[in-house]
Amino acid sequence: MLKDLTITEFLEQTASAEPLPGGGCAAALNAALAASLTEMVANLTIGRKEFQAVEDEMKKIAKTAADLRKKLLNDIDNDAQAYREVLAAFKLPKNTDDEKKQRSSAIQQAFKTAATVPLGVARDALKIMDLTSRAIAHGNQNAVSDGAVGVLASRTAALAALYNVKINLSAVKDPNFVEELTREGEDLENQVIKKEKEILAHIKI
């Protein structure tokens, strides 16, 4: 599993001539890092007397961020598997009309999956930004810079994931599916960019 590689192994494999891990995997990893930094802000707040009033909120933020981190780690491998399924579909036999039909259907389904996985990453990246915003606003101010990096990582993850959505949708022939995911992707992109600006504008350096 890619998620079980050490940092060094993951980076070396990414840098190699192998196709995996690729951009989609990197997007999911960025989102997982953003979730980790959000947890960090919350955990550096929990247990401190001066933040007792927001302790319950910080515990909820830490728990939700931890759940998202674990989900996004799995998405590293989900994205890789989606790519493998695309390759496998193209390798299906196409000697008869029936085989051609089955191959075409498999290719289309594989590309739909390959677009759906990064869309989920983008959704989760936006959720993380909301959590980070709350952690920064009410949590330990000594960890604000870590939270800000988390916001930037979330933005990168979301925009990178949405780029992968667009790439895979370009091969999908179902107009309704393409329209639905394109519309949601554009909405997510606008929300992410707006949210990043709002959060960073309130951070005093």
* Per-residue model confidence as pLDDT tens digits over 143-178: 999 999 999 999 999 999 999 999 999 999 999 999
Contact yes or no for 39/21 (Cβ under 8 A): no
The span from the CA of 101 to the CA of 94, in Å, is 8
Which residues have C-beta within 8 Å of that of residue 52, sequence separation ≥ 6? Answer: none
pLDDT at 205 over 90: no
User: Is the model's pLDDT at 203 over the cut of 90?
Assistant: no
User: Percent of the chain, pLDDT > 90?
Assistant: 98
Per-residue pLDDT averaged across 83-99, rounded?
97
pLDDT score for 63 = 98
State how far the Cα of 150 lies from the Cα of 10, in Å rounded to an integer: 20
Task: Please choose, from the candidates 84, 83, 77, the residue with its C-alpha nearest in 3D space to the C-alpha of residue 5.
Answer: 77
Question: What is the band of 202 on the pLDDT scale with cuts at 50, 70, 90?
Answer: confident
Residues in contact with 16: Cβ distance below 8 Å, sequence separation at least 6, in sequence order: none
Q: Cβ distance 37 to 131 under 8 Å? A: no
Return the half-sphere exposure (C-beta side, CA atoms, 13 A cut-off) of residue 140. Answer: 18
DSSP 8-state class, residue 18: S
As a whole-number percent, the residues of the chain with pLDDT over 70 amount to 100
Contacts of 11 (CB under 8 A, 6+ apart): none
- The CATH classification number of 22-201 equals 1.20.120.680
Q: What is the pLDDT of residues 1-58, one digit of tens each?
A: 999 999 999 999 999 999 999 999 999 999 999 999 999 999 999 999 999 999 999 9
pLDDT in tens, 107-123: 999 999 999 999 999 99
Q: What does the pLDDT read at residue 51?
A: 94
